[in-house]
Structure 1
Amino acid sequence: MESLQNALDTAGGVVWGPFVLIPLLLGTGLYLTVRLGGIQFRTLGRALRHGLLDHADTSGKGDITNYQALTTALAATVGVGNIVGVATALSVGGPGALFWIWVTGLVGMASKYAEAFLGVRFRTTDAKGEQSGGPQYYLKRGIPGPVGQVLAFLFALFAVIASFGIGNLTQANAVASNMEGTFGVSPVVSGALMLVFLGLVLVGGIRAIGRVTAAFVPMMILLYVTAGLVVLALNIDQIPAALALIVTDAFTGTAATGGFVGAGIMLAIQFGVARGIFSNESGMGSAAIAAAAAKTSHPVRQGLVSMTQTFIDTLIVVTITGLVIITAGVWDTGRETAGTMTAAAYSTALPGEWGGTIVSLSIIFFAFSTLIGWSYYGERSLESLVGRAGTVPYRLLFTLTAFVGATVELELVWSFSDLANGLMALPNLIGLLILSGLVARETRSYLKFDPHLRASPEEVAAFMRAQGSEWR
């Protein structure tokens, strides 16, 4: 086990090191930000309105509404990474790591837009009449020749593997651990409950997933964010100093203090970017799989809706977690306390056991929702490799794996998940760079026609015919 841990750490260090994924991830996001004219800054308000309030696209082709596609993607991304992942980044990289999480989120919004756009643009209809899309399709259909074929295969393969790591084992283990620690529920009982509830949801496919997440996700985020805002309000005098510490440490590193062993700039960047992508998944291509199932009249519209998921996940939920930990003064208690650091921070301001209970409930909700979202990602990725025949076996194995994750101590899971995330992101990021011209060209054309996202489906269809677009 020790040899395996060392091998995973070595491989993860290479993939997430300064010469592979970090420059590719940040560089791709920055390049797309420039090429798309800062789309995440120009259109954020319209995108939020269209995703959360508008219902103009409900008659479009697809299996779920664009709001359900957004909540499905949020279900998969707002997970343990928003609580434990942020604490880990701060406990190893120092407060400056939060700054690099923000950078990853801001430039990642452009990446998330591009991959969701492409997910819809190159989606197909499967044998059951459902929409299938994501990097495993747009890499193959959008990039001609063997390059696209190889990139699509690698993404699908790594996505299936990652679905059992980031999307299953870590989440199930987090649910069971918090159920036991907070409510005294045996991990076996937690595993059995997850097995039953997860199985019931997966039987219904993407439509059932969409309905569950649409009702479940807003509630869980509201609970956690509201409690976090209360803590920040009580610690409001500490916020200016916390913000200054985040910015200065991002460029100077952090000296050893308390249980914190110290960190240089590179460590802050590495853990900030790694935990940032673990949290919001921008550049990984996973959210494009959910976006492809959305009812929408044009790929640009769903791309903008999906882009808001990174904003909600990173610029709101992660920021609240990070600021609560820093203002509470518990960020320097040592890496070994990362698992309980957020609960300790909430408990410093909220009365009695409320802080720990709210964080534990949030982890349970976040983790279970991630299980639901990632089951769909893995299933669709496997389908692109072996066809519909793999659907039922995958659902059974995924459900059983959740039980295993709940009942077995998995020390290697975080290292495995980081590595799987990185390997999954690499082919997608390469594909986004290759297809960036198409994304920029069609985005400019559509936003010139419908800058406020108010055009009716009939008007959009007429625009598409006039453009001679191949998309349907």
Structure 2
Amino acid sequence: MLEKVDAVNSVINNFIWGVPAMICIIGVGLYLSFRTRFLQIRKFPYAMKVTFGRMFKKKEAGDGALTPFQAVCTALAATVGTGNVAGVAGAIAIGGPGAIFWMWISALLGMCTKFAEVTLAVHFREKNKDGDYVGGPMYYIKNGLKKHWQWLAYLFSAFGVLTVFGTGNATQVNTITTAIDSALFNYNVISENQVSTLNLIIGIVLAILIALILLGGIKRIGQVTEKLVPFMAVMYIVLAIGVVLLNVKNVPTVFASIFEGAFNPASVTGGVVGSFFMSMKKGVSRGIFSNEAGLGTGSIAHACADTRKPVKQGFFGIFEVFVDTIVICTLTALVILCSKVPIGYGEAAGAELTISGFTATYGGWVSIFTAIAMCCFAFSTIIGWGLYGVRCIEFLFGTRVNKPFMLVYSLVAIVGATMNLGLLWSIAETFNGLMVIPNLIAVFLLSGVVVKMVKDYFNGIETY
């Protein structure tokens, strides 16, 4: 039975992340870039100035809202996760080093897409019965498009609810248990017979922590993510830069392999990965899986920001994709490629390939720090996607289902800790792709609104 499900899902996955996804993601990104005159490049210094400037301003958010910094941390909590570690490793193994080039291209276009998503989410948001700001693709479809497009909002929300249990929770918990088990097993702290018991305990502890944070509401989520995200990002970036500096002599060769492999993968992988399209597909799909530009999910967190300027908040979308993909994903790729660890091209690979890059450079002791980083990445993703799931199910059934959903979502952590999730990873990627379709249709149709808002903002007449 599982083999049949896997086969059917594989067909759907290959179709969604094949030509349709390439056309939708790259096409809409290009369309938005041209319509805004490549805002993400033209106004990149301004975007960095605005985002960094607002991050360090101490301010309290109003009731039912987050500060702009908490909003970006909550969005980054969901985006900076195992996709940055396991996803990049998988892209290199299946698509060759050239996949990183296509990841950069998808990020460059994705900056503009995410800018549009965040701007629309803040502009078309609402306040729910609890007094919280709610927004995201379902709300900019509902409030921005005509009634005959409303079905897209319900489609996005339904896909979102189905996705969060896999992408946002079970697979992330599985990553946490794997990281902890590996670190403890390497130091002979536990035996093989104790692994299953330890995983169950980890699952129960995580379920309790997730429930406490999510049930505490939007304020508690913001308080956790604004502390966790900077800590985990800085720790990982410092460790990764250390690997690059210690292997700096390999950097020119690595960049050459990335650029050459983007158009001629076989020349770099020895013929194992010979398809230009496979390199492109893996780079784009893993890039989107990591930075979520095109999914629209990050805009759900940004819609909670205590701000009256949608365009100004939109620049956080540019900052987010830049940090997630151009900085963190690139560093992960350099850790793998500069350290010269063996790569089984054409074979599935995950976090273990990235970790081997760290241990090959620093030695076995660093596995403790990589385990901590992986746990932080995965846990932050669980919290961020928990918020996304709550907003999606609330859109479908109202606020009365929020708390029951949070409890069910928390308990899924126990499943993720104790079961083999090979198939679930694949299904999660499929639902990720399905979420892209209704969102990008809406962003494309509302692109004129974004262009007008950008013009008004820079002309000093923003009145939203």
Instruction: Give the CA deviation at 1:122.
Output: 0.2
Matched, 1:136 2:138: yes
1:191 is matched with which residue: 199, 203, 206? 203
Alpha-carbon separation, structure 1, partners of 2:207 and 2:253: 45
- The code of the aligned residue for 2:69 comes to Y
Is this contact kept in 2: 1:57–1:295, CA < 8 A? no
Give 3-state SS (helix, strand or coil) of 1:412's partner: helix
Matched, 1:408 2:419: yes
1:364 is matched with which residue: 365, 375, 382? 375
- The code of the aligned residue for 1:375 comes to G
> Which residue number in structure 1 is paired with residue 46 of structure 2?
46
Instruction: Give the CA deviation at 1:206.
Output: 1.2
1:250 is matched with which residue: 251, 262, 272? 262
Is this contact kept in 1: 2:70–2:222, CA < 8 A? yes
Mapping of residues 23-422 of structure 1, within 5 Å: 23-54=23-54, 55=57, 63-147=65-149, 149-183=150-184, 184=190, 186-255=198-267, 257=269, 261-330=272-341, 332-334=343-345, 335-354=347-366, 356-422=367-433
Give 3-state SS (helix, strand or coil) of 1:173's partner: helix
Is this contact kept in 2: 1:90–1:331, CA < 8 A? no
Alpha-carbon separation, structure 1, partners of 2:330 and 2:444: 28
Closer, same or farther in 2 for the Cα pair 1:365/1:381, shift >3 Å?
A: same
Instruction: Give the CA deviation at 1:444.
Output: 1.3
Is this contact kept in 2: 1:155–1:424, CA < 8 A? yes
- The code of the aligned residue for 1:49 comes to K
Instruction: Give the CA deviation at 1:436.
Output: 0.3
Deviations 1:160-179 (A, max 9, x none): 11111111111011011111
Deviations 1:256-295 (A, max 9, x none): 858x832310100111111001100001000110010001
Alpha-carbon separation, structure 2, partners of 1:87 and 1:59: 38
Alpha-carbon separation, structure 2, partners of 1:220 and 1:71: 11
Deviations 1:213-248 (A, max 9, x none): 001100000010100000000111111111111011
Instruction: Give the CA deviation at 1:350.
Output: 0.9
Is this contact kept in 2: 1:257–1:332, CA < 8 A? no
Closer, same or farther in 2 for the Cα pair 1:160/1:337, shift >3 Å?
A: closer
> Which residue number in structure 2 is paired with residue 459 of structure 1?
none
Is this contact kept in 1: 2:84–2:329, CA < 8 A? yes
Instruction: Give the CA deviation at 1:41.
Output: 1.5
Alpha-carbon separation, structure 1, partners of 2:214 and 2:349: 35
- The code of the aligned residue for 1:151 comes to L
Is this contact kept in 1: 2:341–2:360, CA < 8 A? no
Is this contact kept in 2: 1:123–1:138, CA < 8 A? yes
Instruction: Give the CA deviation at 1:252.
Output: 1.3
Closer, same or farther in 2 for the Cα pair 1:320/1:331, shift >3 Å?
A: farther
> Could you tell which deviates more after superposition, 297-306 or 84-93?
297-306
> Which residue number in structure 2 is paired with residue 436 of structure 1?
447
Deviations 1:376-405 (A, max 9, x none): 001001101100011011101100111111
Give 3-state SS (helix, strand or coil) of 2:361's partner: coil
- Count residues in correspondence: 449
Closer, same or farther in 2 for the Cα pair 1:415/1:133, shift >3 Å?
A: same
Root-mean-square deviation (CA), in Å?
Answer: 1.7
Deviations 1:121-165 (A, max 9, x none): 000010011101000110111111212x01111111111111111
- The code of the aligned residue for 1:221 comes to A
TM-score between the two structures when normalised by the length of structure 2: 0.93
Alpha-carbon separation, structure 2, partners of 1:71 and 1:27: 28
Deviations 1:6-62 (A, max 9, x none): 1111100010112x1111101111111111121111223332333233239867786
Is this contact kept in 2: 1:59–1:295, CA < 8 A? yes
> Could you tell which deviates more after superposition, 296-305 or 182-191?
182-191
Closer, same or farther in 2 for the Cα pair 1:61/1:110, shift >3 Å?
A: farther
Alpha-carbon separation, structure 2, partners of 1:74 and 1:56: 19
Structure 2 segments unaligned to the other structure (5+ residues): 185-189
- The code of the aligned residue for 2:365 comes to E
Is this contact kept in 1: 2:78–2:382, CA < 8 A? yes
- The code of the aligned residue for 1:432 comes to V
Equivalent pairs: percent with the same residue?
37
Alpha-carbon separation, structure 2, partners of 1:103 and 1:29: 10
- The code of the aligned residue for 1:321 comes to T
Is this contact kept in 2: 1:51–1:70, CA < 8 A? no
